[in-house]
């Protein structure tokens, strides 16, 4: 796994060197994904700006600058305009507000916003459009969360961060598992299962009969497939209308 860490860090550095980029801007949530990304960005030797709550992950690091940007007042100002928000809507607003802060810092420092999403999250569209999905590069998007955890161990991330319950921080007490109805080990299993094209063309019920899947596996497979389908738009560029005369 050490080799993979070095490979990802080298990829980030090469990307930055190619375009003369000086700074990595990372939103550090306290979870394993952003912790792993922070350490990998450190390895590039470039300036790293970590925007976060105070935490031991970011302090006393030679090329990491910790910046704290509370967003509570920004969200309250938005709500005072009379805009009614559901709990999920407010959570997405928080994610987009954080993204604006990261984007502004990147603009001020000749930097890029480094995404912290992993393959399990990206495949099922578990991110906010214009929020944590608004990034410049995605170093971990082809790696399952189990692999990200292994990188975090290699990079010396504190165990309490690696073992913490994943949360997008959308509202107080929110956890990914509770919101999704499944954990990331199950999501990874379903994605790996459907990587086999024969499996992907059969219904979960057909697969249960043919491969002796448990009721829970059938349920998880259905949930993952549904999320991949309904959130596929998040992984595409916006549709663009082309006038008939232009297409000729």
Statement: residue 248 has pLDDT above 80: no
The tens digit of pLDDT for each residue in 183-225 reads 999 999 999 999 887 787 788 888 888 788 899 999 999 999 9
The tens digit of pLDDT for each residue in 126-152 reads 999 999 999 999 999 999 999 999 999
The tens digit of pLDDT for each residue in 84-97 reads 788 898 899 999 99
| DSSP H or E run through 113 | strand 111-113
Please calculate the CA angle 135-139-141 and round it to the nearest 5 degrees.
85
Domain extents for the chain? 2-168, 181-235
Q: Is the pTM of this model over 0.85?
A: yes
Rounded Cα–Cα distance for residues 231 and 124 (Å): 7
Rounded Cα–Cα distance for residues 140 and 225 (Å): 21
Q: Are 153 and 174 within 8 A, CB to CB?
A: no
- As its CATH architecture, domain 2-168 has 3-Layer(aba) Sandwich (3.40)
- Mean pLDDT computed over 45-74: 87
List Cβ neighbours of 39 (8 Å cut-off, separation of 6 or more): 5, 151, 152, 155, 156, 157
Burial of residue 218 (CB within 10 Å: 0-12, 13-18, 19+) is middle
């Amino acid at each position: 796994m050490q080799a993979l860490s070095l490979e990802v860090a080298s990829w980030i550095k090469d990307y930055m060197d190619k375009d003369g980029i000086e700074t990595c801007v990372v939103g550090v949530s306290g979870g394993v994904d952003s912790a792993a990304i922070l350490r990998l960005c450190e390895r590039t030797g470039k300036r790293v700006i970590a925007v976060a709550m105070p935490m031991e992950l970011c302090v006393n690091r030679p090329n990491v600058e910790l910046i704290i940007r509370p967003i509570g007042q920004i969200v309250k100002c938005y709500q005072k305009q009379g805009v009614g928000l559901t709990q999920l809507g407010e959570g997405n607003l928080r994610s987009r507000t954080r993204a604006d802060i990261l984007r502004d810092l990147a603009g001020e420092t000749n930097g890029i916003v480094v995404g912290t999403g992993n393959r399990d999250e990206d495949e099922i569209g578990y991110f906010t459009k214009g929020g944590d999905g608004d990034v410049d590069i995605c170093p971990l998007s082809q790696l399952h969360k189990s692999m990200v955890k292994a990188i975090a161990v290699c990079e010396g991330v504190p165990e309490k961060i690696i073992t913490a319950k994943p949360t997008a921080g959308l509202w107080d007490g929110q956890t990914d598992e509770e919101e999704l109805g499944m954990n990331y080990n199950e999501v990874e299993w379903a994605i790996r299962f459907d990587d086999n094209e024969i499996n992907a063309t059969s219904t979960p019920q057909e697969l249960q009969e043919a491969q002796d899947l448990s009721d829970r596996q059938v349920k998880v497979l259905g949930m993952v497939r549904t999320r991949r389908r309904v959130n596929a738009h998040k992984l595409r560029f916006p549709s663009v209308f082309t006038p008939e005369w232009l297409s000729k």
